[in-house]
């Protein structure tokens, strides 16, 4: 799987056309959502040039990341006689790259697909690493595969189409990469000013985050060991995201991960000896740029229920339920498969929601 990153978009025509030059006529498909179709498709269309393609646009938002949307993609591919020579371009954020990758991985037992992420979050997280999937029964990414794209093409020019909250969402995942892998990257990210949101100075930091994720996913393609460090912040974060979605809200994924990291750094301080300074720094970032999650006492019990159904958990019992976490001993020193009792998790939630 190839990851191409061009900070200034100078080579996108050559890069994409070289990938598409051998596709049979009528076998290029593009999947977008209602946002990227309007904001980003014109840029892609210019890159594709004269190559004809079939376009399918689905509704934007996490609520579209389901099997019904996958069926729409399958039906569209069948209607237009897609074969195993087909290439599907997934143009969009993480919802599109996850869903489109899953549809491609399962159509005719697998067709080629190219991810072109258009959000910072998708660039540094969802579009690379080979995870595809959809949400099911309220559980994030419960159905999916590990399938590598033909290529992931990254052009920060798309970042200029984003609202500031989308950039902050991706910035949160980059902070995660710094915490789990590289103190220098963490400090470089702290030095970047989220208020200025300068894409030029952000570009090399994106490269650093991608290098961290690529190194980890190549070492453990199917998440049997070290790749679990990438789940840091996601046990609590996914539960908060699911609770918001259940209420009909559409939270930014990176915001939920940031909130999850605050809770899980708290657990790391108490149970893994993590320096409290890290918790102080992350909490300050949260309060200054992200705010804190809104949740009442009843909803906190629902968060625990979501965590108990997290796919990362190991076998547990009704008498002694434990939830699986990745924690930090120090920046760059994550520890995986840390099973903590419910009392500890309630304490972390109390810290997070009482700030």
**Which of 241, 159, 170, 183 minimizes the C-alpha distance to 210?**
170
Q: What is the pTM of this model?
A: 0.88
For 69-88, the pLDDT digits (tens) are 999 999 999 999 999 999 99
For 82-131, the pLDDT digits (tens) are 999 999 999 999 999 999 999 999 999 999 999 999 999 999 987 888 99
The pLDDT value given to residue 320: 63
Mean pLDDT of the 280-309 span: 90
- The pLDDT confidence band at residue 299, using thresholds 50, 70 and 90, is confident
Between 247 and 319, residue with greater pLDDT: 247
| Alpha-carbon gap, residue 272 to 326, rounded angstroms | 10
- Tokens 């470089």 belong to 188
Q: Which residues contact 145 (CB under 8 A, 6 or more apart)?
A: 101, 102, 105, 106, 132, 133
The pLDDT value given to residue 188: 97
| Alpha-carbon gap, residue 153 to 164, rounded angstroms | 22
Q: Which domains does the chain have, with CATH numbers?
A: 2-161 (3.40.50.1970), 164-353 (1.20.1090.10)
Helix, strand and coil percent figures for the chain, each rounded to 5: 55, 20, 30
Residue 10 has pLDDT above 60, yes or no: no
For 230-268, the pLDDT digits (tens) are 999 999 999 999 899 888 888 999 999 999 999 999 999
| Contact assessment for residue 273 and residue 334, using Cβ atoms and an 8 Å cutoff | no
Looking at every residue in the chain, the average pLDDT score rounds to 91
The continuous run of DSSP H or E covering 164 comes out as: helix 164-181
């Amino acid at each position: 799987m190839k990851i191409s990153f061009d900070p200034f978009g100078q080579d996108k025509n050559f890069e994409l056309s070289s990938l598409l030059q051998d596709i049979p006529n009528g076998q290029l498909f593009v999947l977008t959502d209602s946002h990227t179709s309007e904001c980003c498709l014109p840029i892609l269309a210019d890159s594709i040039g004269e190559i004809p393609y079939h376009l399918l646009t689905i509704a934007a938002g996490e609520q579209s990341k389901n099997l019904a949307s996958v069926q729409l993609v399958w039906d569209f591919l069948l209607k237009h006689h897609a074969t195993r020579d087909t290439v599907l371009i997934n143009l969009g954020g993480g919802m599109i790259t996850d869903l489109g990758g899953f549809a491609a991985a399962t159509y005719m037992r697998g067709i080629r697909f190219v991810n072109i992420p258009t959000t910072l979050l998708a660039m540094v997280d969802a579009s690379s690493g080979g995870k595809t999937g959809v949400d099911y029964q309220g559980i994030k990414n419960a159905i999916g595969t590990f399938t590598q794209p033909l290529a992931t093409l990254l052009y920060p020019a798309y970042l200029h189409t984003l609202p500031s909250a989308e950039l902050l969402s991706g910035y949160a995942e980059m902070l995660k990469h710094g915490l789990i892998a590289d103190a220098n990257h963490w400090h470089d990210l702290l030095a970047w000013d989220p208020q200025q949101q300068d894409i030029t100075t952000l570009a090399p930091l994106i490269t650093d985050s991608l290098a961290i994720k690529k190194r980890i996913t190549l070492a453990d393609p199917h998440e049997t060991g070290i790749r679990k460090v990438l789940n840091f912040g996601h046990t609590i974060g996914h539960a908060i995201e699911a609770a918001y979605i259940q209420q009909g809200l559409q939270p930014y994924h990176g915001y939920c991960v940031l909130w999850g990291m605050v809770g899980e750094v708290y657990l790391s301080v108490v149970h893994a000896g993590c320096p409290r300074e890290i918790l102080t720094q992350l909490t300050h970032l949260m309060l200054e740029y992200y705010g804190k999650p809104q949740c009442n006492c009843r909803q906190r019990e629902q968060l625990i229920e979501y965590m108990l159904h997290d796919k990362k958990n190991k076998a547990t019992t009704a008498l002694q339920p434990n939830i699986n976490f990745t924690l930090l001993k120090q920046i760059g020193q994550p520890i995986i498969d840390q099973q903590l009792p419910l009392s500890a998790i309630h304490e972390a939630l109390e810290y997070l929601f009482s700030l």
